[in-house]
Structure 1
Amino acid sequence: MIENLTKETFLERVYDFEKNKEWKFEGKRPVIVDFYANWCAPCITIAFALELILKEYGDKIDIYRVDTEAEQELTAAFGIRSRPSLLFCSAEAAPHIAKGIMPKAELERMIADILKVEK
């Protein structure tokens, strides 16, 4: 099950942008953060693909969701204007944002290319 993050849990588990101006990843393993809205049909579709990915990758990555309606300050901090938007984060590289719906194969390619994680 993919866990929803609030601003507070995001600051603890992903990146504390209030304390650090430079990127400093707070997680233990690479992360995908899904910025979504409940009314967004493409968000529902990508959520299903992310659930499958989480099962397939096991403990190699973490996947979280952020409700853009409830967490507007967090959403604004990353300039999220379209939904779904996925934030790919790791300790090794700057975060990467991907916008819009994409097939599971494209998500897997991005996990390999950006997060450097294989199944």
Structure 2
Amino acid sequence: MKTRFITFLIAAGLLFGYSSCTAKAESNDSETATKSVSKADKATTMLTKAMFLEKVWDYESSPKEWKYKGEKPALIDFYADWCGPCRTAAPILEEVAGEFAGEVIVYKIDTQVERELAAVFGVKSIPAFLYIPIEGKPTMASGIARTKEDTKKMFTQNINTILLKKQQNNDAL
């Protein structure tokens, strides 16, 4: 029954034009655990649990109350190196992060390394994206669009409407 439900969710995601990977909890590749995607020239920032507690939300001190610690809206990409859609989204998200530099902070969390952070948000399918406005509750979305262009458009629209609270021009869609 559980397998049918998961298959349904994956099929539904593909039907609506979104693609994601189901998290492989049993995979603990040491190469993946030690691999770091963060480089000085990147517009995105890798988050560890300690950094998350310091910069985003200290869920250990206030587990029942969301208190965002950031000074700018943030987008967190929950990903894994083995996930194809995650690898597709990564350069697009890097580009979008550069375009919104100074307005929005874009973080990445490797779900194979930071399993506790993924569990805190109930991430079971990746890529998953947590949009965190300055005020209010965060919004979780998962999967990417069918094309790279539509995926970039998805990120841009979500940043503008969820994080920057800009009204969308329906004529432009």
Pairwise same-fold verdict (TM > 0.5): yes
Deviating 4+ runs (over 3 angstroms): none
Change (3 A) 1:17 1:64: same
Q: Deviations over 1:4-62 (max 9, x none)?
A: 11111011111111112211101110000000001011101111111111111121010
How far does residue 91 in structure 1 lie from its aligned partner after superposition?
Answer: 2.2
Greater length-normalized contact order (CA 8 Å, ≥ 6 residues apart): 1
Q: Which residue of 2 aligns with 1:48?
A: 91
Percent identical among aligned pairs is: 42
CA RMSD of aligned residues (A): 1.2
Q: Which residue of 1 aligns with 2:111?
A: 68
Of 64-73 and 109-118, the range deviating more from structure 2: 109-118
Q: Is the 8 A contact 1:60 1:117 kept in 2?
A: no
Aligned pairs for 1:76-115 within 5 A? 76-102=119-145, 103-115=151-163
Query: Following the alignment from structure 2 to structure 1, what is the Cα–Cα distance between the partners of residues 165 and 99?
Result: 12
Structure 1: runs of 5 or more not aligned: none
Structure 2: runs of 5 or more not aligned: 1-41, 146-150, 167-173
Higher CA-based Rg: 2
One-letter code aligned to 2:143:
G
With the length of structure 1 as denominator, give the TM-score of the two structures: 0.94
Confirm or deny that 1:8 pairs with 2:56.
no
